[in-house]
């Protein structure tokens, strides 16, 4: 999984896996979901991420199984 924040466009891109997306679905006007040919989520794009997703205060924690 990769999480990238583009400050110049205030866009958050969360890539769950490297796969060819075959369709982009609009969840709302500022949230896009990329899916593969099986309908599985490959990535999510969030526009206006600092306001809508708290991207400016992002942290990551891996929890042991």
Instruction: Using the structure block, give the residue that is written with the tokens 């400050």.
Output: 7
Q: Which tokens belong to 56?
A: 């400016």
pTM, two decimal places: 0.81
14 versus 61: the higher-pLDDT residue is 14
The burial of 8, by beta-carbon neighbours within 10 Å (0-12 exposed, 13-18 middle, 19 or more buried), is given as exposed
d(CA 13, CA 37): 20
Q: What is the pLDDT of residues 31-61, one digit of tens each?
A: 999 999 999 999 999 999 888 877 666 676 6
Task: Kindly state the helix (H) or strand (E) to which residue 51 belongs, with its residue range.
Answer: helix 49-52
Q: What's the rounded mean pLDDT across residues 16-33?
A: 94
- The answer to whether 11 and 49 are in contact (CB under 8 A) is yes
Q: What is the pLDDT of residue 56?
A: 64
Q: What is the pLDDT of residue 50?
A: 85
């Amino acid at each position: 999984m990769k999480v990238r924040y583009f400050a110049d466009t205030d866009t958050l891109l969360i890539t769950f896996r490297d796969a060819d997306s075959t369709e982009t679905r609009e969840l709302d006007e500022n949230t896009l979901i990329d899916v593969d040919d099986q309908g599985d989520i490959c990535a999510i794009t969030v526009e206006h991420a600092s306001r809508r997703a708290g991207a400016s205060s992002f942290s990551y924690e891996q929890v042991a199984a």
